[in-house]
Chain A
Amino acid sequence: MSEINKNEVDIVIGALNADLTQFLNSWKPFFSGFHLIVVKDPELKQELNIPQGFDVDVYSKTDIDKVVGSSNSTMFSGYSCRYFGYLISKKKYIVSIDDDCVPAKDPKGFLVDAVSQHVNNLENPATPLFFNTLYDPYCEGADFVRGYPFSLRSGVPCAASCGLWLNLADLDAPTQALKTEQRNTSYVDAVMTVPLKAMLPISGINIAFNRELVGPALVPALRLAGEGKVRWETLEDVWCGMCLKHISDHLGYGVKTGLPYVWRNERGDAVESLRKKWEGMKLMEKSVPFFESLKLPETALKVEDCVIELAKAVKEQLGSEDPAFTQAADAMVKWIQLWNSVNSSG
């Protein structure tokens, strides 16, 4: 992998746990030299415990209120606190990892440098227009296969890099509750581009993106009525990902999935989470046909405009299905207002 310019990267961590000592120390070999933005969940009461030795800026409720106004800080509660980090960052690339994940080991036993892998994915082109059966054609030892059109071999800019998880995979509550012992032990050694028009559930647990290219498209918008502090009780990242993929497809960018892996630890109880009414399921069912048939106007050429158009369509077509969609549409519009105001004065 090529050398990374660390000055182009912000590592954004949403703190849902107060004690980040173990988390940050486990990532030290790979976070060292990078600037970190830690955003504390505004609803977390305890003081954050952050170990020495990191170049880190910490933001808590008071900081969030100052920048976006206290009436808007609910937009950044729970897992969505990280989006505040995305908002105020000034860097080209963002890498974001949940605070219950530590570095994974590859099959050779070496710790995986997730940050480098993500940035590498972002710096190399994506190939959404035609599927390469040997996966990433730009990596060492691989190439485009016979039959791959030559005109498509320079690829398109990569907007996002979606990583995966060993140990506790990102399964939903019913699935994990049914298979309590199931752990992901399969290390699939590949990065690939998710094809144009293909929808996928993007997980916020281990993600990176090109902020300069698509920053405003990562929207903290869909909030479940019973949203909780474990991933099984959220859908904000999945909704964000559907928007991001659609906008990337529209603008001719690519989204990659696969490496890097992180090791995800136990937290919460899937069966407990099941007790909550699983409204996320219903919302996803409604979202799929919406995104499948959605066509953004050709005149929407800027990411911000795409988000506004998307919000309009959500309100028109999904608003009557569930109030969560209307709220999401409003949040998307508000997000763009905040983005424009924060990033023009910077």
Chain B
Amino acid sequence: MVEPANTVGIAVNPTPLLKDELDIVIPTIRNLDFLEMWRPFLQPYHLIIVQDGDPSKKIHVPEGYDYELYNRNDINRILGPKASCISFKDSACRCFGYMVSKKKYIFTIDDDCFVAKDPSGKAVNALEQHIKNLLCPSSPFFFNTLYDPYREGADFVRGYPFSLREGVSTAVSHGLWLNIPDYDAPTQLVKPKERNTRYVDAVMTIPKGTLFPMCGMNLAFDRDLIGPAMYFGLMGDGQPIGRYDDMWAGWCIKVICDHLGLGVKTGLPYIYHSKASNPFVNLKKEYKGIFWQEEIIPFFQNAKLSKEAVTVQQCYIELSKMVKEKLSSLDPYFDKLADAMVTWIEAWDELNPPTAAAANGKA
């Protein structure tokens, strides 16, 4: 049995890393009580809360947190007709928070994620680990058998080419979950009691050319490097699919990171996932996705971006064209999605006009 950490008595970090360079994006429909236990680690940071569902509902934010909150009315007001690309009645709406942020880094976490304990019983400061992951290089071109070579006590192993030891910039840090694992509906139905109790003490770079299922529950990324590609798609109300928002973003960002020479890490930190969603509800949402992903995966595995695509936006627009061309025959949904991908980029550029110095893409 695994338990969440008790964080009562842990002092707020007096010198939190990247305090003014990072926003925490949280989608919510209920309440944000979970932030009470995260205080020692998250209170110094600015929150962007994206309120899904009924905009008239008042979301209570625990005292002491500095935040901005957007409900559906705000999203419609700010984006106008482009608001159509932001999902409604699905946590995919969180990507609106990425778009309005003005910071370099984003940490996103679900409102049912508590603080985990490491094997020694110590509370895990997930944000601190994500920041470490993002500030340290990745090594996507050659797999290091001792995992993260930059970690204290580790290094590159014998045979690891010296020319590859500088690594590349890290765009994404994908964290994991103890207790309720991120299973799909069929697996949840077969194994309703399974809990993840295994604390794997490693961070690793996902090799170039390899796709993975990116979960949005416990995720951080460098907004400058990859932000425009973190679109969480069209899910929820009025859409034929749900629970594939983060998956879709994960496949897109991985193809683009591989193309631009950026790294994606997975592993630590763990959070404690407290709530298991209803598997029957999930099955209805995922059902089409389970069949569609069989076509979608080969699509992404074979997607080749052109040499001319050198910014994230350019890569993403190219990808949207390929989606329209190759996946529309699978279902008209993908035609809509491809259009939404373009709308997203247009909205992103509108809200984030490029300055003379700034440039998205390769660091």
Contacts and interface: CB of A to CB of B under 8 A. Distances in A.
B142 A169 contact: no
B187 A231 contact: no
B10 to A, nearest CB: 24
Interface stretch (A24-32, A78-86, A117-125, A127-135): A127-135
Interface stretch (B44-52, B207-215, B338-346): B207-215
A240 B344 CA distance: 48
B187 A144 contact: yes
Nearest to A199: B142
B213 A133 contact: yes
A201 B145 contact: yes
Interface in A165-221: 169-172, 175, 179, 182-190, 194-203
Interface stretch (B18-26, B55-63, B290-298): B290-298
Interface string A275-299: 0000011001100100000000000
B194 A141 contact: yes
B199 A189 contact: yes
B207 A198 contact: yes
Contacts of B200: 135, 188-190
- What's the dominant secondary structure at chain B's contact region? loop
Given A130-B211, A131-B210, A145-B181, A172 B143 contact: no
Interface in A229-254: 231-232, 235, 237-238, 241
B250 interface: yes
A200 B161 contact: no
Contacts of A169: 146, 155, 157
Among B144, B146, B197, B201, max chain A CB count under 10 A is at B146
B171 to A, nearest CB: 16
Nearest to B190: A143
B198 to A, nearest CB: 6
B82 to A, nearest CB: 27
Contacts of A235: 158-159
Interface in B142-172: 142-147, 153-164
Given A146-B182, A188-B147, A141 B197 contact: yes
Contacts of A202: 145, 159
A169 B183 CA distance: 35
A147 interface: yes
A141 B196 contact: yes
Range of interface residues on A (Cβ < 8 Å) = 35 or more
A107 interface: yes
A22 B163 CA distance: 40
A203 B210 CA distance: 23
Contact of A170 (B158, B214, B244): B158
Nearest to B147: A188
A162 B162 contact: no
B113 to A, nearest CB: 15
B164 A288 contact: yes
Given A147-B184, A195-B210, 4 more contacts: A130-B212, A164-B145, A169-B146, A200-B142
17 contacts: A132-B213, A133-B213, A145-B183, A146-B182, A146-B213, A147-B215, A150-B294, A152-B297, A172-B160, A175-B156, A195-B209, A197-B210, A199-B141, A200-B142, A200-B145, A203-B157, A257-B143
* Across the A-B interface, the 6 shortest Cβ-Cβ residue pairs: A201-B159, A147-B213, A238-B159, A198-B207, A200-B143, A195-B210
Interface of B: 119, 141-147, 153-164, 174, 176, 181-184, 187, 191, 194-202, 206-215, 243-244, 246-247, 250, 266, 286, 290, 293-294, 297
Interface of A: 107, 130-135, 141-152, 162, 164, 169-172, 175, 179, 182-190, 194-203, 231-232, 235, 237-238, 241, 257, 280-281, 284-285, 288
